[in-house]
Amino acid sequence: MKASRHIGANVPTICYHEHCTANALCRICVVEVEGARVLAPACVAQVSAGMKVHTRNERVERSRRTILEMLNSAVDLSQAPEIQVMMGDYRADSNRFPDGARREFEVKDDNPMYIRDYSKCILCWRCVQVCAEDAQYTYAINFGKRGFESHIATFFDKPMPETTCVFCGQCVGVCPTGALKPKREWLLEQGYMPDEVMEKTRDERRRKKRKN
């Protein structure tokens, strides 16, 4: 991926973040390596001498398009502007899988700092990575369940204030879809006026302080 960017060939990424360990989860970055049986995820593929790589041909485009269409069928991407641009760029059909099961969860509003709306979560794992060895070493969040039921969770699904979370905001900063969002921004979207928002989050913080 870095080699291709070096020569100006744009390889799209979703799960990759320049400050996180690349882990090849989303597969939007696949490229075709001549002679290889399957497409290679560019964010983890190593270059070698004589390698011939197609960063955007019909096979690569079809694969990226299908990934976008599947994501769109299951997750609310309305606040993921970069993915929406990719949808247009790869001519992804937003109705390709109309019967696909939607991943729908209640918004988790359990602390004064940020909300978690996992209906918008694409499981890119960036938040888990920055909460762990890639930045904070806090380990408040991780994966829960398996397969289609996989989701980002706290241990035993405890509310965030009862975990090791220190509310550093790193996870909110790297989330590409609005699944993690500052509480104040979310309250404004809900129609609260700025002074009500200040009042509401201040009260909650005071309550939390008293509790501690």
CB of 150 to ligand SF4, least distance (A): 10
- The answer to the question of residue 121 lying near ligand SF4 (CB under 6 A) is yes
DSSP 81: H
Toward ligand SF4, which CB reaches closer, 11 or 124?
Answer: 124
In the DSSP assignment, the letter for residue 108 is B
For ligand SF4, the binding residue among 90, 114, 125, 186 (CB under 6 A) is 125
Query: Do the Cβ atoms of 41 and 29 come closer than 8 Å?
Result: yes
Task: Provide the minimum distance between the beta carbon of 174 and ligand SF4 in the complex, in angstroms, as a whole number.
Answer: 6
Q: Contact region for ligand SF4 (CB under 6 A) — 36-44, 55-63, 123-131, 204-212?
A: 123-131
Question: Is residue 20 near ligand SF4 by the rule CB under 6 A?
Answer: no
Q: Taking CB under 6 A as the rule, which mask of x and - marks residues 145-184 in contact with ligand SF4?
A: -------x---------------------xxxx-xx----
Residue/partner pairs of 153-158 with CB below 8 Å, 24 or more apart: none
CB 152 within 8 A of CB 124: no
Q: CB under 5 to 8 A by kind: which of ligand SF4, ligand FES, none does 28 bind?
A: ligand FES
Nearer to ligand FES, 15 or 180 (CB): 15
Partner in contact with 27, chosen from ligand FES, ligand SF4, none, beta carbon below 5 to 8 Å by kind: ligand FES
User: Is residue 49 classed as helix, strand or coil in its secondary structure?
Assistant: coil
Between 1 and 140, CB nearer to ligand SF4? 140
Write the CA distances from 45 to 16, 33, 40, 90, integer angstroms.
13, 10, 6, 22
Q: Which positions ≥6 away from 124 have C-beta within 8 Å?
A: 14, 15, 25, 26, 176, 177
* Minimum separation from the CB atom of position 93 to ligand FES (A): 21
Joined tokens for residue 144: 């829960």
Location of structure tokens 């882990």? 23
Q: At what angle do helices 81-89 and 58-74 cross, to 10 degrees?
A: 140
**Helix (H) or strand (E) segment spanning residue 72:** helix 58-74
Q: SS3 for 3?
A: helix
Interacting residues toward ligand FES by CB under 6 A: 13-16, 24-29, 41, 43
Minimum gap (Å) between residue 209 Cβ and ligand SF4: 27
Binds 92, which of ligand FES, ligand SF4, none (CB < 5 to 8 A, cut-off by type)? none
Q: Which residues of this chain interact with ligand SF4, rule CB under 6 A?
A: 121-127, 152, 174-177, 179-180
